[in-house]
Amino acid sequence: MAETQFTRFSFQPFIIEAIQALRFYKPTEIQERIIPGALRGESMVGQSQTGTGKTHAYLLPIIEKIAPERAEVQAVITAPTRELATQIYHETLKITKFCPKDRTIVARCFIGGTDKQKALEKLHVQPHIVIGTPGRINDFIREQALDVHTARTLVVDEADLMLDMGFITDVDQIAARMPKELQMLVFSATIPEKLKPFLKKYMENPTFVQIEPKQAANENIEHVLIPLRGREKVKLLYDVLVSYNPYLAIVFVNTRKRADEVADLLAEQGLKVGVLHGDLTPRERKKMMNQIRELEFQYMVATDLAARGIDIEGVSHVINYELPDDLQFYIHRAGRTARAGYSGIAATIYEPGDQDAIARLEKMGISFVHRDLVRGEWKELPPWNRRGKRAGEKEDELAPVVARLKKAKKVKPGYKKKLRAELERKKKRLDRFKKS
């Protein structure tokens, strides 16, 4: 087995053993820049996208600094979703299982939707590391079952999502119970203005580490634009999914309602489709995640907030049924595929109204290829913003008129004549445009 480059951080032998078992050879950029400062006890803000290795950037230094002989809470790790908290917990166990038998490190996960009484009973001995959602951790603190005043390190993972979901107040209350000389490690894809007062309250001159989004320039992701061209969107989505025949595809939409609609319509066509959004109960979410991991579904329809912070292995394709309002989420979505050295496709079904958003994504470093699916065959198209392409968009204007003409059966006298005249006018305008 190749020797890991993590040895230069002077971790304890059991951590190096765990790193080798995890097959981590070279630290990622955020690990290179966070680990040394975290080991020194510095407060840090890490700004990076999902999939950059940030979980181990804080886990490894935290585990390194735990004193197993002290049966007290020494680090608290907060996450906005139950799934992310569970993932962090499992990653922690993958390292702590290598502890020497006489120096066991105990980690506990506290999230909603689990047996609260059972968790309370386990707290007769305080764990060394607490991982969980802010609300549930706060519950146990208020019930005086969990003592966090002994902890010297607090991690706030996916801080911008914490803010979006209204959990920053809970995190604030947890931090208020911890020592004044607190090491805070905050990780976030973006640093919104509304997050800054919280950071200033607890962090004096933190070290800022910003990792530029790798996904934008990730050579392993092919970003594909597919024009709608007046077709029925769900039908085109279905055709695209069947043509790609992915190992696992995530279809992103912007609302919970749309997620249900699209998933239902795809299921009606015979596809095995899961759905992930904020209206699912904890039990439904857990069941859905298990089914996805067991590969019971080849396709999943998800909203951004529901899918953030969830690491799903084997995503070969990401499909944007709708472009997100916040274009940073495009980076998050695309970053779901092409992980761990694999390649992937991020495809977007777009309409003329999406042009400005696409142009802005290009300025962010996304390089698109332009293709269409015609009768089951993929065709290369000229660049989407070339004049020839714009002619194609003009042709989109004809489609609704043609559709209305086909549907027109019992209509008022002269209606079809008016439609045909409108169609002729649009065709002439298109011909002039092509000649110009």
- At residue 237's C-alpha, the angle toward residues 231 and 238, to 5°, is 110
Final residue of a structural domain among 183, 210, 237: 210
> 362: exposed, middle or buried (C-beta count within 10 Å: 0-12, 13-18, 19+)?
middle
pLDDT band for position 405 (50/70/90)?
low
Mean pLDDT of 414-425: 68
Rounded to 5 degrees, what are φ and ψ at 18? -65, -45
Quickly list DSSP for 367-400: -EEEEEEETTEEEE-S-TTSHHHHHHHHHHTHHH
Q: Which residues of 165-196 are buried (b: 16+ CB within 10 A; e: fewer)?
A: bebbebbeebbeebeeeebbbbbbbbbeeebe
Asked if residue 219 and residue 204 are part of one domain, the reply reads: no
Q: At what angle do helices 82-96 and 54-65 cross, to 10 degrees?
A: 50
Q: Is the pLDDT of residue 389 over 50?
A: no
Residue 391 maps to a domain: no
The answer to whether residues 258 and 338 belong to one domain is yes
Confidence of residue 99 (pLDDT cuts 50, 70, 90): very high
CA 177 to chain centre: 30
Angle between helix 387-396 and helix 398-407 axes, rounded to 10 deg: 20
> What is the pLDDT at residue 218?
63
Residue at which a domain ends, from 358, 383, 408: 383
Helix (H, G, I), strand (E, B) or coil at 152: coil
Residue 252, pLDDT score: 95
331 and 281 fall within a common domain: yes
CB neighbourhood size of 106 (10 A): 17
Which pair of tokens denotes residue 432? Answer: 């002039």
What pTM, to 2 d.p., does this model score?
Answer: 0.62
Q: What is the pLDDT at residue 238? A: 96
Q: Are residues 23 and 108 in the same domain?
A: yes
Does residue 18 contact residue 93 with C-beta atoms inside 8 Å? no
User: Are 302 and 166 contained in the same domain?
Assistant: no
- Residue 179 and residue 298 in one domain: no
pLDDT for residue 388 is more than 60: no
Q: Binning pLDDT at 50, 70 and 90, where does residue 190 land? A: confident
CA-to-CA distance for 314 and 293, rounded, in angstroms? 9
**Structural domain includes residue 271:** yes
Closest CA to 233 of 275, 274, 265, 257: 265
For the record, the structure tokens of 170 come out as 């809970």
Q: Which two tokens stand for residue 312?
A: 């799903």
Does residue 393 form part of some domain? no
199 & 323 share domain: no
Q: Does 401 have pLDDT greater than 60?
A: no
- CATH number at 333 reads 3.40.50.300
Task: Report residue 78: phi and psi, to 5°.
Answer: -110, 145
pLDDT at 392 over 50: no
Gap between the terminal Cα atoms of the chain: 64
CA distance 275 to 303: 9
Domain region containing 28: 5-210
Residue 106 confidence (pLDDT) above 80: yes
Q: Are 157 and 134 in contact (CB under 8 A)?
A: no
Return the CA Rg of the chain. Answer: 26
Comparing 2-11, 153-162, 200-209, 402-411, the range with the smallest average pLDDT is: 402-411
Within-domain flag for 388:
no
d(CA 167, CA 134): 7
pLDDT of residue 323: 93
So what's the pLDDT on residue 436? 42
- Would you say 302 and 275 are in contact if contact means Cβ atoms under 8 Å apart? yes
Question: Does the residue 174 lie in any domain?
Answer: yes
Query: SS3 for 319?
Result: strand
Residue 61 in tokens? 């230094």
Q: How many domains does the chain have?
A: 3
User: Is it the case that residue 414 has pLDDT exceeding 90?
Assistant: no
Chain segment 171-188, per-residue pLDDT in tens: 999 999 999 889 999 998
Identify whether residues 206 and 298 lie together within a single domain: no
Are 140 and 220 part of one and the same domain? no
pLDDT at 254 exceeding the cut of 60: yes
Q: Could you give the residue ranges of the DSSP H alpha helices within 186-294?
A: 196-202, 233-244, 256-268, 282-293
Claim to verify: residue 107 and residue 48 sit in the same structural domain:
yes
In this structure, are 33 and 128 located in the same domain?
yes
Which of 156, 178, 210 marks a domain boundary? 210
User: Residues 371, 405: one domain?
Assistant: no
Alpha-carbon span 92 to 51, nearest angstrom: 17
